[in-house]
Chains A and B, each alone.
Chain A
Amino acid sequence: MDCVVTGGNVKVLAKAIHSLSRIGEELYVEPQEDGLALRSVNSSRSAYACFLFAPLFFSRFTTPSGQTFRCKMAIKSVQAVFRSLASLEKTVEKCHIQLDEQKNRLTFTLHCKHGLLKTHNLSFQDSESLQAVFDKDSCANEFRSQPRLLVDTVIHFPQSVDEVTVSVNDERMWFRNHVEDEAEQARAMLTELCLASDEFDHFAVKSHGSITFCLKELRGLLVFAESTGLPITMYFDEPGSPVVLSVTDSVLEGNFVLATLSEDAGHRKNNSRGGRSPQPPPPPDDFMNDDMDSFIIAMDTSMAPGPSTSRPSTSRSDYSTCSKQSTAANHRTRHRSEEEEEEEEDNTDDLDRPPNKKFCSLFFGSVLPPSSQMTTQPVISQEVLASDSEDDPQDE
């Protein structure tokens, strides 16, 4: 791989990396025929982001001929290359990204003002391709707006607010902060904003409803969208299926796929939804390779709360909203059993999250079979987890 980014595009690249750093710890780099893909996923697999920079984005773009190359690296180390974002535009004239196969290093060379040359040789790990399975075009609801609109909306939510609920009808969209449970509701401050459809460039609603997702990743995308001035398009269907936020330009495309909170059976009995089957069959999940600690923590906490006992019966409605491949079931307070799901899908793995969220994980696909080395260890841990979480309600 050998590519050169010049002028203002260096800042765009840097901003993209910074917004990816809001998602996960690792940056997946994959040069493709159609451009350079940079991706990241969070540890609980509930948020995924991908930027694809078309060959035209670069002044020079060559991919390794023949074999495909993919790697992942600590996103922090890549961020360090573009540390001084503010001065980047003024100082950096050219950025050269090159793969040194002999030394197994990815080299970022920044040609700066005054002839200063900054070379960062970063180590990387081989990785599989990271792909989230989503189909934004089939989403019922689609909204496009200038980044300013969302920035001005999100700014009203304090940093302590983790999740927002977005509701739509034919004329309006509401943003409100999501409050976890009844006890909290009494003390919590509720913030709600209403946006009229004419504030959007495009406002298409086919199904009324509301979804709840994390603000953190949205904030990350907004930083990028605001600096590039690109409009943001939001696609979503229904609770539990992912919301897709995307920015598109002639030379780049960015998609942020965020899990949404499943409809809570305790709050709303909506069994009719149980019959709906998820659309594309997911490839097996094969990169459950990190975050052992949070698995363990989540495992512990999943045994503690009582409410999980009552859940199995409602599992069907819950699970259907989860995306296909990785059925995220085991949550801190609400336990969603995977029994039925497992019957349906062989490759389901129980994906656990850090204990404090109730989102379903997204379904990620991989182009490689699950037998690869990366998956070996995590799969074991998942099995343990899955059996634990299934036993859990029974034991109680």
Chain B
Amino acid sequence: MLLAPVANSDMLDTTSTTTSTTTWQFGRSSGVLDRAAKPLEGLYACANSTSVARRNPEVVVFRSAFLQNISIDTMPLLTQSQADDEEYVLVASLDNARNLSNILKAITFKDHAIFSATPNGLKVTVEDSKCMQANAFIQAEIFQEFTIKEDLVGFQVNLTVLLDCLNIFGGSTVPGVSTALRMCYKGYGYPLTLFLEEGGVVTVCKINTQEPEEPIDFEFCSSNVTNKVILLSESLKEAFSELDMTSEVLQITMSPNQPYFRLSTFGNSGNAHYDYPKDSDMMELFKCTKTQTNRYKMSLLKPSTKALALSCKVSVRTDSRGFLSLQYLVRNDDGQICFVEYYCCPDEEVEEE
């Protein structure tokens, strides 16, 4: 979006005088007028993300003190003060913001995301229809800096806006070019502040936080797990890309006997089954104790394909109630491992055909 600022009709009116003044100051103070391209990029970044905020009126201002959802300043790196750090309850830094944005993209199917940070790391939760939940876990070790002053820091933000901000420099995938991120949160009632830096330009985004909701507890515990398989994602990717989307449900059969692990769809033109034998080299682990057949709404499972696409392994588990847990092991650009987890409620009881 950043590369075509001219096409953005919102640009002129959203670039407030203050913002552009800041940018000019940047240009002068840094004394790099010859590198005009970069300051310009910063300006466009401002213009665009301000319009993002305007175009997202559903992101309601939660506390009356904050009139705008996000605000953005562009300032030279040098003026950025580290003194503020003491006020923050949470500070997390990443050399490459893409390590965060990629994994967040895998769970972006609803706007509202619940962030819960503990000393172990960051958990981001997105829910749909009270029937399905996606969690992304980013361990503290992934961050270059992860400072938390409380046992649990929780807030809710609009995930789409957050992703737009993380990609404010265009989310370049050119090797060697990355956006550095410093994410700070002062506590209840304060916005989530992002400092993003690329090529000497810093953009500060403030995203208003919302009252955190309590995530649904699916009560999925490993002691209740009836069946579990771990597959290399590659083989499931193929199946998911071919699934008949005219089918309302995806039926998953797991069994110690044939067909072992089966995905079935029932679409307009007939039905289709994908069978994975337990001794396939795609099957890393096969631990099924009881034959179980459950149906899950295709519409709920479909977003999980985003996580599947990123992942290298998937663990598929069902518990005694038929609840489904999909755990994706995701390797980021730097080879570190994160997890994305999906829980899904089964559809009504299966009647035999």
Q: Count of B residues near A, CB < 8 Å?
A: 22
Interchain CB contact under 8 A, B272 and A121: yes
**In the complex, are the beta carbons of B275 and A114 less than 8 A apart?**
no
Task: Convert B253-276 into 0s and 1s, putting 1 for each residue whose CB lies closer than 8 angstroms to a CB of A.
Answer: 000000100000001111111111
Query: Which single member of B241, B259, B269 contacts A122 (CB below 8 Å)?
Result: B269
Beta-carbon contact of A117 and B274 below 8 Å: yes
Contact partner, B282, options A84, A116, A119, A121, Cβ 8 Å: A116
**B333 surroundings in chain A (CB, below 8 A):** none
Assess the A115–B279 pair: CB atoms within 8 A: yes
Tell me if B281 is interfacial: C-beta within 8 Å of chain A: yes
- Mask: chain A, 99-140; 1 = CB below 8 Å from B; 0 = not: 000000100000000111111111100000000000000000
Across the A-B interface, the 6 shortest Cβ-Cβ residue pairs:
A77-B269, A122-B270, A117-B275, A115-B277, A115-B280, A119-B273
The one of B242, B277, B282 in contact with A80, judged by C-beta atoms closer than 8 angstroms, is B242
Question: Which residue on A lies nearest to B260, using beta carbons?
Answer: A115
**Any B CB within 8 A of the CB of A74:** yes
**Bound Cα distance A122, B268 (Å):** 9
Q: Name A's B-contacting residues (CB within 8 A).
A: 73-74, 76-77, 80, 83-84, 87, 91, 105, 114-123
Check B269 against A118 for contact (C-beta < 8 Å): no
B238 near A: Cβ within 8 Å? yes
* B244 lies within 8 A of chain A by Cβ: yes
Query: Which residues of B lie under 8 Å from residue A73 when comparing CB positions?
Result: 269
- Assuming the contacts A84-B238, A114-B280, asked whether A119 and B275 have C-beta atoms less than 8 A apart, the reply is yes
Q: Which of B238, B241, B280 has the most CB of A within 10 A?
A: B238
Q: Which residues of A contact B275 (CB under 8 A)?
A: 116-119
Shortest beta-carbon distance from B266 to chain A in Å? 10
Contact of B80 with A by CB under 8 A:
no
Q: Which residues of B contact A84 (CB under 8 A)?
A: 238, 241-242
A66 to B: closest C-beta gap in Å: 26
From residue B264, how far is it (CB to closest CB) to chain A in Å? 9
> Given B238, B259, B274, B281, which contacts A91 in the complex, CB threshold below 8 Å?
B238
A37 to B34, CA, bound (A): 70
| Complex: A122 Cα to B235 Cα, angstroms | 23
Does A123 contact B270, Cβ atoms closer than 8 Å? yes
A–B complex contacts, Cβ < 8 Å, 18 sampled: A77-B267, A77-B268, A77-B270, A80-B244, A84-B238, A105-B270, A116-B238, A116-B275, A116-B282, A117-B273, A117-B276, A118-B242, A118-B272, A118-B275, A119-B274, A121-B270, A121-B271, A123-B269
Partner of B280, one of A76, A105, A116: A116
- Taking CB atoms, residues of chain A closer than 8 Å to B270 are 77, 105, 120-123
Please give, as numbers and ranges, the residues of chain B lying within 8 Å of A87 by CB-CB distance. 238
Q: Do B269 and A115 touch (CB < 8 A)?
A: no
A266 vs chain B, min Cβ distance (A): 45
How far is it, in angstroms, between the C-alpha of A119 and the C-alpha of B280 when the chains are bound?
17
Neighbouring A residues of B244 by C-beta, 8 Å: 80
* Min CB–CB distance B287 → chain A (angstroms): 18
CB closest chain-A residue, reference B263 = A118
Instruction: Contacts A115-B282, A123-B269 known; list 10 others, CB within 8 Å.
Output: A84-B238, A84-B241, A87-B238, A114-B281, A115-B276, A115-B280, A116-B238, A116-B276, A117-B276, A122-B269
Tell me the bound Cα distance from A114 to B235 in angstroms: 9
Taking the closest CB of chain B, its distance from the CB of A56, in whole angstroms, is: 29
Q: Residues of A contacting B272 with CB < 8 Å?
A: 80, 118-121
A91 to B235: give the CA distance in the assembly, Å: 10
- List of B residues within 8 angstroms of A119 by Cβ: 272-275
CB B291 to nearest CB in A, in angstroms, measures 18
User: Can you name the residue of chain A whose Cβ is closest to the Cβ of B241?
Assistant: A84
What is the bound-complex CA distance between A333 and B162, given in angstroms?
57
| Bound CA span A327–B56, Å | 59
Q: How far is the CA of A120 from the CA of B267 in the complex (A)?
A: 10
Cβ-defined contact, A116 with B235, below 8 A: yes
CA distance A49 to B304 in the complex (A): 40
Q: How far is the CB of A17 from chain B (nearest CB, A)?
A: 14
Nearest Cβ in chain B — how far from A185, in angstroms?
36
B56–chain A nearest beta-carbon distance, Å: 36
Distance from A333 Cβ to chain B, minimum over Cβ atoms (Å): 37
- Tell me how far the C-beta of B352 lies from the nearest C-beta in chain A, rounded to whole angstroms: 14
Complex Cα distance, B274 from A117, in Å, reads: 6
Chain A residues with CB under 8 Å of B274's CB are 116-119
- Complex Cα–Cα for A117 and B259 (A): 10
- Give a binary string over B213-236; 1 marks a CB under 8 Å from any A CB, 0 the rest: 000000000000000000000010
What residues of A have a CB within 8 angstroms of the CB of B281 in the complex?
114
